[in-house]
A and B are shown apart, each in its own frame.
Chain A
Amino acid sequence: MSKRILVMFPNREYKESLLHEIMLKSGTIFNTINTEVTPTHTKIMGEIKGDEEKAGEFMRILKRRGGIVRELDVMMKFDQAKCVSCGMCVSLCPTKAILYNKDFSVKFDFNECILCMRCVENCPVNAVSYLGD
């Protein structure tokens, strides 16, 4: 199982060894996909590998150490009822987060998402939305 999350730390509370420390404590692997460092905060997007319990533990410790944690499958919302399965998003998706089902309906797996926002910006019927950081 893998779970994508976005973590934000105010810079004064973040040190590079922190993630390794939490990985050891929770017994999970965390692969960093993208890091954004600004003068005030550090924003890391990554993927937790491990079962649900361990992933939960990883996120709990992150929060205790001052991290703001957002889960991608919660941040991104796909409204199946609004979707007309036109497929515009499918070929725009740079990862395997959006694929066709066999019956040509569209399925989302936000644990493959890199938050590129192309689907959100392009969906002609506003069926995909980003709920914010």
Chain B
Amino acid sequence: MSNIRSIDDINAKIKSGDVVVVTALEMKDIVAEKGPEKASKEVDVVTTATFGMTTSSGAFLNFGHSDPQIKMGGGEILLNDVPAYAGLGSVDTYLGATQLSKVHKIEYGGGHVIEDLVGGKSISLKAYGSSTQCHPTREIKGEFTINDLNQAIMVNPRSFYQRYSAATNSSDKVICTYLGELLPNFGNVVYFSTGSMSPLYNDPTYETIGIGTRIFLGGGVGYVIGEGTQHHPKAMSGSLMVKGDMKKMKQRYLRGASIKNYGTALFIGGGLPIPVLNSNIAKNCGVTDEEIKVGVFDYHIPTRLKPLVKKTNYKELKSGNVIIGEREVKSSGLSSIKIATEICEKMKEMIEKGEFFLTNPVERITLESMTKPMKLLYVKASDVMSPAVTCSPEDSLKDVAKLMLEKKQNYMVAVDKQKRLQGVLTSWDVTKSIVTGKTKVKDVMTSQNVKTSRKDEPIEVSVRKLEQYGVRGLPVVDDDGKVLGVVKMRDVTYKVKG
């Protein structure tokens, strides 16, 4: 697509005061009303923003040298009793948002130290170093504010995260997650992200965002320094790594957070200006909350892959109520739409006043990166399962009972010709048939809501299911529903060493 203007053209307009800037929300209306072609002619820049809780955030700090010098690198560093990384040079450190205070634990962490620094508060420093000939000091104690530091540079490895799933809880107990408390029996739905205002939803192909893109970060100016961790743009799960000078940040746009029974984090406001270089970019900026699909997942299952409860979109989530089954369940977000809207407005004002110029990225963000799960050594259901003794739902119970005796089995799996799971049959079901007079497997087997296991499911999860549902076995099925084996408590007891 040929561009109708360049970033340099836009900067010239900012300089002359003729630039047309609209917020992401205003742009949705313009695109809906006039179409992307006309919108792209009228609008130069769209401001997008997010204000959300982040865990992969932190700051590089440089204290300057003490006299005599200390080598904190290799030692131990505590900032307001929160440990900071001591694997860098003598007086450098990185402080992460989720690091907990040694004293206040979950009440105070790295995110809070960052907030206090930006707020101009005094921070206590305790550090222990290894005494060397050139760095003889072993221990220092001091107080400092952000102004005493040579550098306070925020570097967030995963920021502007595009996609989050929404969470709910089907169990009968309260669970505490990184999204806060999830109430029992689908008591609430919690979601992240500001939806259609969120930067990466407005430029999902990274046509304008790249290394060197100037952004708004925590009330100051920052830059995109590359793709973020877990960046997976093809699954609409992009993320950016960003940096910003903390000395220019404001507490209004940054806040330490404590999540009950989970840990600490950092709320951070980020804004990203999208230059409307062509009508395709305008079209992308027209994306609405309704068009952004979100899955609501059941978080009571502690595995990485959680059961999907419902497919929804940001329009429904932001309405405050989500229909689950036949009930209206209250929904609320963990990203502040209020402050994100404020950031969009603020950036618009900064650009209009000529205080914020756009930059040409020096390199594009990769579109190929993918997110893989952690490679770990753990016992999987497939390591423990035994071969399934199978029958057909059409078999007569008499034949199957004979087979059960022959194979010394009290648990049978009924499958169709393609080996796909149809139901399960226990010796108890066979016993019942003597009373009811049923003669076919399909008449007595359990075929509804059969609990199953995946072959790569950690055995702990299978055991939990066996206990929770009080079943004798779990058929292990692949993605097509084909039975690969059976996990039984016996297998677990014999094959898994404590």
Contact = CB atoms under 8 A, between A and B. Distances in A.
A41 B36 CA distance: 69
Nearest to B257: A124
Given A90-B320, A92-B183, A85 B331 contact: no
A99 B462 CA distance: 40
Contact of A104 (B256, B329, B341): B341
B390 interface: no
B337 interface: yes
Interface in A74-133: 84-93, 99-100, 103-105, 118, 121-122, 124-126
A104 B255 CA distance: 18
Contacts, number: 71
Contacts of A93: 330
Contacts of A89: 332
Contacts of B183: 92
By Cβ-Cβ distance, the 9 closest A-B pairs, closest first, are A90-B332, A124-B257, A91-B188, A91-B332, A104-B337, A85-B338, A87-B332, A91-B330, A104-B338
A91 B180 CA distance: 10
A122 B178 CA distance: 11
Contact of A122 (B53, B181, B267): B181
Interface in A50-92: 84-92
A121 B335 CA distance: 19
B336 A85 contact: yes
Nearest to A104: B337
Contact of A103 (B181, B257, B333, B341): B341
A126 B264 CA distance: 13
B211 interface: no
A30 to B, nearest CB: 29
B51 interface: yes
B389 interface: no
Nearest to A121: B260
A47 B261 CA distance: 33
Contacts of B334: 86-88
Contact of A124 (B258, B320, B330): B258
Contacts of A126: 258
Given A84-B267, A118-B181, A121-B260, A90 B330 contact: yes
B260 A122 contact: yes
30 contacts: A84-B51, A84-B255, A84-B336, A84-B339, A85-B336, A85-B339, A86-B333, A86-B334, A87-B332, A87-B333, A87-B334, A87-B337, A88-B332, A88-B334, A90-B332, A91-B190, A91-B331, A92-B181, A92-B188, A93-B330, A99-B320, A100-B320, A100-B332, A104-B341, A118-B181, A121-B181, A122-B180, A124-B53, A124-B180, A124-B265
A104 B331 CA distance: 13
B180 A105 contact: no
Interface of B: 51, 53, 180-181, 183, 188-190, 255-260, 265, 267, 320, 329-339, 341
Contacts of B339: 84-85
Nearest to A81: B252
Contacts of A88: 180, 190, 332, 334
Contacts of A124: 53, 180, 257-259, 265, 267
Interface centre among A91, A92, A99, A118 (most CB of B within 10 A): A91
Contacts of A92: 180-181, 183, 188, 332
A125 B341 contact: no
B483 to A, nearest CB: 40
> Range of interface residues on chain A?
20 to 34
A105 B188 contact: no
A13 to B, nearest CB: 37
Contacts of B320: 90, 99-100
Contact of A87 (B258, B260, B329, B336): B336
Contacts of B259: 122, 124
A86 B339 CA distance: 9
B108 to A, nearest CB: 11
Nearest to B333: A87
Given A84-B267, A87-B337, 12 more contacts: A86-B334, A88-B334, A90-B330, A91-B189, A91-B329, A91-B331, A92-B332, A104-B341, A124-B257, A124-B258, A125-B258, A126-B258
Nearest to B267: A84
Interface centre among A87, A100, A126 (most CB of B within 10 A): A87
Nearest to A125: B255
A86 B53 contact: yes
A89 B333 CA distance: 9
Contacts of B189: 91
Contacts of B255: 84, 125
A92 to B, nearest CB: 6
Interface string A17-50: 0000000000000000000000000000000000
A104 B256 CA distance: 20
B48 to A, nearest CB: 16
B393 to A, nearest CB: 44
Contacts of B335: 86
Nearest to A126: B258
A90 B191 CA distance: 12
Contacts of A85: 336-339
A58 B344 CA distance: 49
B58 to A, nearest CB: 18
B190 A104 contact: no
A86 B320 CA distance: 13
A85 B342 CA distance: 12
A60 to B, nearest CB: 37
A122 to B, nearest CB: 5
A78 B331 CA distance: 21
A62 to B, nearest CB: 34
A105 B337 CA distance: 8
